[in-house]
Amino acid sequence: MNARFVTSTLSAFLVMGKGEGIMDISVVNFKDKFKKIHEQHSYKIIAQMNNYHLKLVKVQREFIWHKHPETDEVFMVIDGKLQIDLRDKVLHLKKGEMVVIPRGVEHKPSCNEECKILLIEPAGTLNTGDAGGDLTFTELEWI
């Protein structure tokens, strides 16, 4: 048994969960990930935590009113400014800020200038929630 085999076997052992396969554990850098996103409004998955996806998106538009009856939704601003209209107030988020929109609460995100956002929500959550329509994005890729 050579040293390399021992090392790689040991590493594999250390990252294996109970009854699970080998996972790729590596650092995710937001800047590097955003460099791989060339279009606005194209949501990309960068990580999964349990059954939640962490998604990045570059946004520059006024979105539509919608809600997610089945889940809360996290918006974290990585760069730029994001406005989220609620029915009773308007939230202004800037770089380094986040908000949790509770399930069932209507919201309308918008950005005049390009904004870089991290979203955290269960896998399969639609960007347009219960509203549907042309802006519904379903072709999520991992980057």
Least distance from C-beta 84 to Ni ion, angstroms?
Answer: 9
Give the CB-nearest residue to Ni ion. 73
Nearer to Ni ion, 26 or 51 (CB): 51
Number of residues that bind Ni ion (CB under 5 A): 1
Nearer to Ni ion, 12 or 100 (CB): 100
Least distance from C-beta 69 to Ni ion, angstroms?
Answer: 11
Which tokens belong to 126?
Answer: 């639609």
Nearer to Ni ion, 21 or 101 (CB): 101
Q: What does the radius of gyration of the chain's CA atoms come to, in whole angstroms?
A: 18
How many angstroms separate the Cα of 35 from the Cα of each of 53, 58, 103, 124, 135?
19, 11, 31, 24, 23
CA distance 120 to 100: 9
Pairing of strands 107-110, 81-86: antiparallel
Question: Pattern 55-94, binding to Ni ion, x per CB under 5 A?
Answer: ------------------x---------------------
Phi, psi of 35 (to 5 degrees): -65, -25
Which residues in this chain contact Ni ion in the complex, by CB under 5 A? 73
